């Protein structure tokens, strides 16, 4: 497999596919190593993650350049990803000891009732390319702390980043057999589904997530699916600072070229401020700097997968054919970049307002009330995040409560915290990463009745 980075199109590295026959060998190694790893004191496993986080920061420059070369992300956003990845470990470093300790929960007469958290065993993580550090950490950090071994398949679009993650974890003290990298495309992912793993943790598209769910279900082992989104943002008419809302909506929609699971993908604006918001938003879009991802001034880099450009064009054509108005952008530039695109007069019979776009294209729809906004925000098969801009906190929270998504943002968007659950609803996923729930996801709780 050759890794040609979209940033320069140069061959970055030849990466060898992990041969299907080697998968079982790696599993057997991991299985045997895990029985030792789980016996290492919890504090020592946490110490390894602490050292891993420190190594991320120490090697920030080299790692962020590699990330940009491999996925075409602007260099400033790659630096933020590495810094964010290091600080994302903090929740688990600070809280795991307390959360995983054996707890006496009740005394029933002569019987002590105690809960213990065993690791699952050897788990598989099949991962995505858009935030390889951030989405990887959701899985392998709590999994390793809880005492599991991990077979990690990075996306075929960022194998070199996958190797760097492994190198730093090994350097931090995680045994090589306990964290192993499997290289390959969907065939490698499919082959992992035939291994007798003790849990499957997938980050990727809804379509692949459904295939994984049906293959894993008969195994009766835990599974988490972190899938795509069609995340809505609603701007109410109760807003003291429309410019700020436009600025944040812009960042939510176009950060990482719109290639985030929690990118803002649909904007609804109350009719009272619709024109003001729309004009400010479009003005800001026209000021975005597009260009070489290695240039620190660039905000919009290259689209990572070239094949995705025709998908973006199709969504735009579908919307235009049904009456949408193209306000700016609308086409690719030089086969590498896609113009940041805004469409108005959009409706829910357009793919643009229903299907994940995963690119720098956004639709803005006018609404007449909170009730209409709520109805529209709920009207997709996804439920990852939703965002409301509103000066009245009670009103904002009331709206968010009505939206069937795992995350609600008030006056912010496109944000992840390791202290809070990350749990897509409906077509956006199954199960929960991050927070204490995302640590317990890698444990098999055991109840002891001790008399
Ligand atoms: P993808 O589904 O194409 O691939 C994800 C991984 O699955 C890759 O490693 C790929 O090799 C593997 N794979 C593909 N087909 C497979 C199969 N049949 N069996 C087993 N493995 C298979 O997704 P992608 O393009 O890498 O990532 C983008 C998607 O991920 C977007 O939909 C995005 O929203 C989503 N995502 C979600 C989150 C989240 O936290 N919810 C985070 C990041 C990305």
Question: How does residue 17 score in pLDDT terms, banded at 50, 70 and 90?
Answer: confident
Locate tokens 């992840």: which residue? 416
Tell me, yes or no, whether 423 lies in a domain.
no
User: Which CATH number does the domain housing residue 406 bear?
Assistant: 3.40.309.10
| 134 alpha carbon – ligand 1 mean position (Å) | 14
Number of structural domains in the chain: 2
Packed helices 242-254 and 274-286: angle between N→C axes, nearest 10 degrees: 50
Q: What is the pLDDT of residue 128?
A: 97
Same structural domain for residues 212 and 239? no
Predicted confidence (pLDDT) at residue 418 exceeds the cutoff of 90: yes
- Give the model confidence (pLDDT) of 26-74 as tens digits: 999 999 999 999 999 999 999 999 999 999 999 999 999 999 999 999 9
Q: Which atom of ligand 1 is nearest to the CA of 193?
A: 20
In angstroms, rounded to a whole number, what is the distance separating the alpha carbons of residues 249 and 233?
A: 7
Same structural domain for residues 245 and 215? no
Is 14 an annotated catalytic residue? no
Q: Which atom of ligand 1 is nearest to the CA of 384?
A: 41
Same structural domain for residues 155 and 264? no
Neighbours of 389 (CB within 10 A): 28
Predicted confidence (pLDDT) at residue 296 exceeds the cutoff of 60: yes
Question: How does residue 20 score in pLDDT terms, banded at 50, 70 and 90?
Answer: confident
Q: Which atom of ligand 1 is nearest to the CA of 138?
A: 40
Q: What is the pLDDT of residue 18?
A: 73
Tell me, yes or no, whether 418 lies in a domain.
no
Give the pTM.
0.95
| 273 alpha carbon – ligand 1 mean position (Å) | 37
Mean confidence (pLDDT) of the chain: 95
Q: Name the active-site residue from 158, 188, 261, 390.
A: 261
Same structural domain for residues 181 and 245? no
| 332 alpha carbon – ligand 1 mean position (Å) | 24
Same structural domain for residues 156 and 281? no
Predicted confidence (pLDDT) at residue 2 exceeds the cutoff of 90: no
What percent of the chain shows pLDDT beyond 70?
A: 96
Mean pLDDT of 69-98: 97
Neighbours of 203 (CB within 10 A): 28
Mean pLDDT of 179-184: 97
For ligand 1, atom 21, name the residue with the nearest CA. Answer: 189
| 26 alpha carbon – ligand 1 mean position (Å) | 22
Question: How does residue 240 score in pLDDT terms, banded at 50, 70 and 90?
Answer: confident
Q: Name the active-site residue from 29, 66, 226, 355.
A: 226
Tell me, yes or no, whether 293 lies in a domain.
yes
Q: Which residues of 42-70 are buried (b: 16+ CB within 10 A; e: fewer)?
A: beebbebbbbbbebbeebbeebbebbbbb
In angstroms, rounded to a whole number, what is the distance separating the alpha carbons of residues 82 and 78?
A: 6
What is the extent of the structural domain holding 29? 2-227+428-450
Same structural domain for residues 187 and 250? no
Q: What is the pLDDT of residue 295?
A: 96
- Which residue ranges have their beta carbon within 6 Å of ligand 1? 126-131, 135, 153, 155-156, 185-186, 189-190, 203-205, 208, 211-212, 226-229, 261, 356, 358, 384, 424, 429
Beta bridge pairs of residue 328: 342
- Give the model confidence (pLDDT) of 335-354 as tens digits: 889 999 999 999 999 999 99
Neighbours of 400 (CB within 10 A): 20
Q: Which atom of ligand 1 is nearest to the CA of 229?
A: 34
- Give the model confidence (pLDDT) of 261-270 as tens digits: 999 999 999 9
Same structural domain for residues 35 and 105? yes
Tell me, yes or no, whether 32 lies in a domain.
yes
Question: How does residue 3 score in pLDDT terms, banded at 50, 70 and 90?
Answer: very low
Q: What is the pLDDT of residue 262?
A: 96
Tell me, yes or no, whether 277 lies in a domain.
yes
Q: What is the pLDDT of residue 6?
A: 59
| 156 alpha carbon – ligand 1 mean position (Å) | 10
Same structural domain for residues 341 and 360? yes
DSSP calls for 360-393: SEEEEEEESSHHHHHHHHT-SSEESEEEEE-S-H
Is 226 an annotated catalytic residue? yes
The conformation of residue 300, written as its DSSP 8-state character, comes to B
User: Which CATH number does the domain housing residue 152 bear?
Assistant: 3.40.605.10
Q: What is the pLDDT of residue 407?
A: 98
- Ligand 1, pocket-test mutation among 205, 307, 435, most atoms within 8 A of CB: 205
Question: How does residue 21 score in pLDDT terms, banded at 50, 70 and 90?
Answer: confident
- Ligand 1, pocket-test mutation among 197, 208, 306, most atoms within 8 A of CB: 208
| 421 alpha carbon – ligand 1 mean position (Å) | 20
Same structural domain for residues 347 and 382? yes
Q: Which atom of ligand 1 is nearest to the CA of 228?
A: 34
For ligand 1, atom 8, name the residue with the nearest CA. Answer: 155
SS3 108: strand
For ligand 1, atom 16, name the residue with the nearest CA. Answer: 186
| 360 alpha carbon – ligand 1 mean position (Å) | 19
In angstroms, rounded to a whole number, what is the distance separating the alpha carbons of residues 256 and 298?
A: 11
Residues ≥6 apart with Cβ < 8 Å to 21 = none
Please calculate the CA angle 125-25-49 and round it to the nearest 5 degrees: 40
């Amino acid at each position: 497999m050759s890794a040609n980075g979209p940033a320069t199109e140069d061959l970055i590295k030849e990466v060898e596919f992990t041969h299907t026959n080697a998968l079982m060998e790696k599993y057997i190694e991991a299985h045997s190593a895990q029985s030792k790893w789980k016996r290492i004191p919890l504090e020592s496993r946490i110490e390894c993650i602490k050292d891993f986080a420190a190594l991320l920061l120490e090697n920030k420059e080299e790692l962020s350049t590699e990330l940009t070369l491999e996925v075409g992300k602007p260099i400033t956003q790659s630096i933020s990803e590495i810094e964010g990845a290091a600080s994302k470990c903090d929740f688990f470093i600070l809280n795991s000891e307390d959360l995983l300790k054996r707890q006496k929960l009740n005394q029933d007469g002569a019987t002590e009732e105690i809960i213990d958290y065993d690791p699952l065993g050897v788990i598989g993580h099949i991962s995505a390319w858009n935030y390889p550090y951030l989405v990887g950490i959701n899985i392998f950090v709590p999994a390793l702390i809880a005492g599991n071994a991990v077979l990690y398949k990075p996306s075929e679009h960022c194998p070199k980043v996958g190797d760097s993650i492994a190198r730093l974890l090994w350097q931090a003290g995680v045994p090589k057999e306990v964290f192993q990298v499997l290289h390959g495309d969907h065939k490698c992912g499919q082959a992992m589904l035939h291994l007798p793993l003790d849990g499957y943790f997938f980050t990727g598209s809804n379509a692949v997530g459904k295939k994984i769910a049906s293959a894993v279900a008969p195994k009766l082992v835990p599974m988490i699916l972190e899938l795509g989104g069609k995340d809505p943002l609603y701007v109410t008419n109760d807003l003291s600072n429309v410019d700020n809302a436009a600025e944040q909506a812009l960042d939510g929609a176009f950060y990482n070229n719109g290639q985030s699971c929690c990118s803002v993908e649909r904007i609804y604006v109350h009719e009272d401020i619709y024109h003001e918001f729309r004009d400010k938003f479009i003005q800001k879009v026209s000021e975005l700097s597009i260009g070489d991802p290695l240039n620190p001034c660039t905000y919009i880099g290259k689209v990572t997968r070239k094949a995705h450009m025709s998908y973006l064009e199709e969504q735009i054509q579908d919307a235009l054919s049904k009456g949408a108005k193209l306000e700016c952008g609308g086409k690719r530039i030089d086969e590498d970049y896609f113009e940041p695109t805004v469409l108005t007069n959009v409706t829910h019979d357009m793919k643009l307002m229903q299907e994940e776009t995963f690119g720098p294209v956004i639709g803005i729809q006018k609404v007449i009330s909170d009730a209409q906004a709520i109805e529209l925000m709920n009207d997709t098969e996804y439920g990852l995040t939703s965002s409301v801009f509103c000066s009245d906190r009670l009103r904002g929270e009331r709206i968010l409560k009505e939206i069937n998504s795992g995350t609600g943002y008030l006056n912010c968007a496109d944000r992840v915290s390791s202290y809070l659950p990350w749990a897509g609803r409906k077509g956006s996923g199954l199960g929960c990463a991050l927070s204490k729930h995302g640590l317990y996801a890698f444990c098999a709780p055991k109840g002891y009745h001790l008399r």
